[in-house]
Structure 1
Amino acid sequence: MISVCIATYNGEKYLEEQLESILPQLDSHDELIISDDGSKDGTLRIIDRYTAKDKRIKKFKGPGKGVIANFEFAINQSQGEFIFLADQDDVWLPEKVQTTLEFFHSHPKIDLVISDLVIVDEQLEVIEPSYFEYRNVTIGFLHNIVKNKYIGAGMAFRGRLKTRILPIPAKVPMHDMWIGLIAAYRNKSALIPQKLTLYRRHHNNASEIDTKASFFQQLKWRCAISYVLFKRIFFNA
């Protein structure tokens, strides 16, 4: 069973296109978890229209505390053996689920994967053909503590990782950084080189490709995530 987790908030412009790219890749017993964080636009109408015709979609009211808490809530609802994270404004390429599952099945010791993405604009025109090349993405715990490259739009992980991921500490910069590092600490993460997602960039994105935060702010983030990781890994706190 697969669980796809989407955290929505005012995503009416691109959400339908994303849903149409995901649903054909899911089997009848899979689930699509949508946690909405209080959208004020037409997002809920779109979700309700899809839930009325597809029982695989499960709609939840999010906690109303921002994107990290919203994804945490969605992940907490999931029941799948494999959990995929999905942004509300991207597009999955048709082979994403199959390619990812094949990788997991051939690498039973890997708990988390990141697949490559094509960075596109609002009209899906290519900005950068490879996120991995653009960001010089590599796996590894220490490397990603210093400069975290784990990205939720390309992320999938085994359900057994949930007990180590949750709860997500409030002080982490983003949920995907935290999840990736949890897997990386035990050398359980890997990269899938295939480009499986069109990663859409526009002025309303919740995250940035290249952070505009100051060096001091980035240092604070690294210290904060290192501290909570140390507590979780060694004291299970």
Structure 2
Amino acid sequence: MGALPKISCLIVTYSFERFIVRAIESALAQDYPRELLQIVVVDDGSPDRTPELVRPYSDRVRYVRQPNRGLVAAFNRGLREIDGDVLMLLSGDDEWPPSRARLHAEFLSRHPEVGLVYGDMEVIDADGATIEPSFWRATGHVPQRGDVLGRLLRGNFISGGAMSVRMSLADRFAPLPADCAWEDWWIATRVAAVAAVDYTPQCVYRYRWHGNNMNLGARGRRFAELLVRELPFRRRLLAEVELERLAAEDVYAGAVALVRSLAVASERTSTPATELAPVTEADRERAGERLERARAALAAGAWLDALADTTRALAADPHDPSAVALLERCAQALGLVTQASVPASAASGAAAQRPAPLGDDVRAVVLLADGRELAAAPELIAAYARVVGDDDPVTLVIALPPDDGAVVAALERAVSAAGADGPGSPDLLALPLPDDGWETLAASAHGFYGPRPSAAALAGLPAVAPAELAAFLARVVERRKRAQDTAGAAAPTPSAGTVTDGRRAGTATDRHRANTATAARTATA
């Protein structure tokens, strides 16, 4: 391992007089050589007692105060003040655990190919008491490593306070642009385009949940406002990233995320989509050029190039229904979807949008369940886990109600109590109930487990009680087998990752935990 790098701890703060001293003290308490730890505090014009609270630390902390200009301006000011080899961030209301600097400094010294490393977080309350010892475990997050740029098109999963980035790559991300939604998402995407990203499993950050945080746990209109804030950055990301080198499913997911975010934000803020994502004549001209290139690529059978150009057209003009239609055509040709999965036009601002078909996210047999009913009767989960295991070709798709974190928490407890969250467990997939009710999910299902809502779309689905579960699955599997036999032996041999015998190649036994957490974040938004 090489010599330890000089660490620059950048603290950007605004009106955190209650917590700023704890933040500074936690940085000073690092198990790291004092001469290799630089601490810079940028105060974005706090109207409180922050200046006098920071003053006693002037021998160890460089304090910079500026008129209030917002996060991006404060962050860029901080980048001009630091001179370390590795940048580590600390919000004025959060804390570092004592080993934070050393863990990532040593990791980067051992792995010169890694440009950015991140870790888990502990969630604490206003007084510093632990709420969740592991943010990853609480949310079911599965950390990613390697080439993660495609995954970042969908959304950010790297928290700024828990990441460390080499300042030798500063020309990639500094200064932050004005349309940067979040500094961590911007830095992660810029670094991921040129270097590997990795993670350490330890908690390297203490995230304070005190009700005034900018985005964690946002709901309702606040969630919609965050979507609005992200729109310019999503458009920029899809326009500038070298999409052709990424996996098709990531490019498609990034495009869908843009269109859906716009539609949801429009509906929840009662604002026309065209106002939330303005399009200039130059944007329309650029979109038209990209669509022409995409159509030419389609004619030549170059589906990946067509998908990339269509996605760039949507970035330029996300309201163009012809671009959305072409996106769907590309996705279907590439086998990413089997039916339309995004609104025909984002300009309508309507929320009635269909989620992506279940596709490869589920096994050969699909059972639906109402998340509220399972949460109210956890014995249903236990009964299901006694009959169905990881080797069975069935996925239980659990529909979650919006804005109901209590249901998600109850489901997680039920799954854990039933022992359905480890090796050999059944395949569970939790999803927010689509805006069209049960119609979309019912189209892909073979039955309904547990009490069935009185929805017209579910009327044709067999209701399956716990005692009938084994017999029902046997009948469905046998019918599918007969249908496959009838098709004959002329069918093409499945390629890697294709569904065979009701299973997907490489299915993770604990996939349902990540899906539950993802749905939880969506459902409580």
Q: What TM bracket, shorter-length normalisation?
A: 0.7 to 0.9
Q: 1:23 maps to what in 2?
A: 28
Q: 2:56 maps to what in 1?
A: 49
Determine whether 1:36 maps to 2:43.
yes
The CA RMSD over aligned residues, in Å, is: 2.2
Q: 1:74 maps to what in 2?
A: 78
Which runs of 5 or more structure 1 residues have no equivalent in the other structure?
Answer: 231-237
- Counterpart of 2:10 in structure 1: which amino acid? C
How many residue pairs get matched? 227
Whether the 8 Å contact between 1:173 and 1:225 is mirrored in structure 2 is no
- CA distance, structure 2, for counterparts of residue 145 and residue 135 of structure 1: 20
- CA distance, structure 2, for counterparts of residue 13 and residue 100 of structure 1: 28
1:43-89 CA-partner distances (Å, limit 9, x unpaired): 111111211xx2x3111123632112211221221100111111111
What are the equivalent positions in structure 2 for 1:1-237 lying under 5 Å apart? Answer: 1-25=6-30, 26=32, 27-51=34-58, 54=59, 56-62=60-66, 64-133=68-137, 134=139, 136=141, 137-139=143-145, 140-209=148-217, 212-213=223-224, 217=228, 221-227=233-239
Judged with a 3 Å threshold, the aligned counterparts in structure 2 of structure 1 residues 210 and 163 are, in CA distance, closer, same or farther, namely same
Judged with a 3 Å threshold, the aligned counterparts in structure 2 of structure 1 residues 95 and 38 are, in CA distance, closer, same or farther, namely same
- CA distance, structure 2, for counterparts of residue 155 and residue 124 of structure 1: 21
Whether the 8 Å contact between 2:113 and 2:195 is mirrored in structure 1 is no
Any idea what SS the aligned residue of 2:114 has? coil
Which runs of 5 or more structure 2 residues have no equivalent in the other structure?
Answer: 1-5, 243-525
Judged with a 3 Å threshold, the aligned counterparts in structure 2 of structure 1 residues 138 and 117 are, in CA distance, closer, same or farther, namely same
- Counterpart of 1:108 in structure 2: which amino acid? P
Whether the 8 Å contact between 2:215 and 2:226 is mirrored in structure 1 is no
- CA distance, structure 2, for counterparts of residue 96 and residue 226 of structure 1: 33
- CA distance, structure 2, for counterparts of residue 214 and residue 59 of structure 1: 31
Judged with a 3 Å threshold, the aligned counterparts in structure 2 of structure 1 residues 207 and 49 are, in CA distance, closer, same or farther, namely farther
* TM-superposed deviation, 1:223: 1.7
More strand by share: 1
More helix by share: 2
- CA distance, structure 2, for counterparts of residue 210 and residue 94 of structure 1: 29
- CA distance, structure 2, for counterparts of residue 85 and residue 109 of structure 1: 21
* TM-superposed deviation, 1:182: 1.0
Judged with a 3 Å threshold, the aligned counterparts in structure 2 of structure 1 residues 197 and 229 are, in CA distance, closer, same or farther, namely same
* TM-superposed deviation, 1:228: 5.4
- CA distance, structure 2, for counterparts of residue 177 and residue 209 of structure 1: 17
- CA distance, structure 1, for counterparts of residue 38 and residue 212 of structure 2: 27
Moved more, 135-144 or 160-169: 135-144
Whether the 8 Å contact between 1:169 and 1:228 is mirrored in structure 2 is no
Any idea what SS the aligned residue of 2:45 has? coil
- Counterpart of 1:224 in structure 2: which amino acid? R
- CA distance, structure 2, for counterparts of residue 112 and residue 29 of structure 1: 19
Judged with a 3 Å threshold, the aligned counterparts in structure 2 of structure 1 residues 135 and 175 are, in CA distance, closer, same or farther, namely farther
- Asked which structure has the greater RCO (Cα within 8 Å, sep 6+), the reply is 1
Judged with a 3 Å threshold, the aligned counterparts in structure 2 of structure 1 residues 68 and 214 are, in CA distance, closer, same or farther, namely closer
- Counterpart of 1:213 in structure 2: which amino acid? A
Any idea what SS the aligned residue of 2:150 has? helix
Larger Rg: 2
Identity of aligned residues (%): 28
- CA distance, structure 1, for counterparts of residue 93 and residue 226 of structure 2: 29
Any idea what SS the aligned residue of 2:186 has? helix
Any idea what SS the aligned residue of 1:116 has? strand
Whether the 8 Å contact between 1:119 and 1:200 is mirrored in structure 2 is yes
Whether the 8 Å contact between 1:35 and 1:59 is mirrored in structure 2 is yes
- CA distance, structure 1, for counterparts of residue 214 and residue 238 of structure 2: 23
Whether the 8 Å contact between 1:3 and 1:83 is mirrored in structure 2 is yes
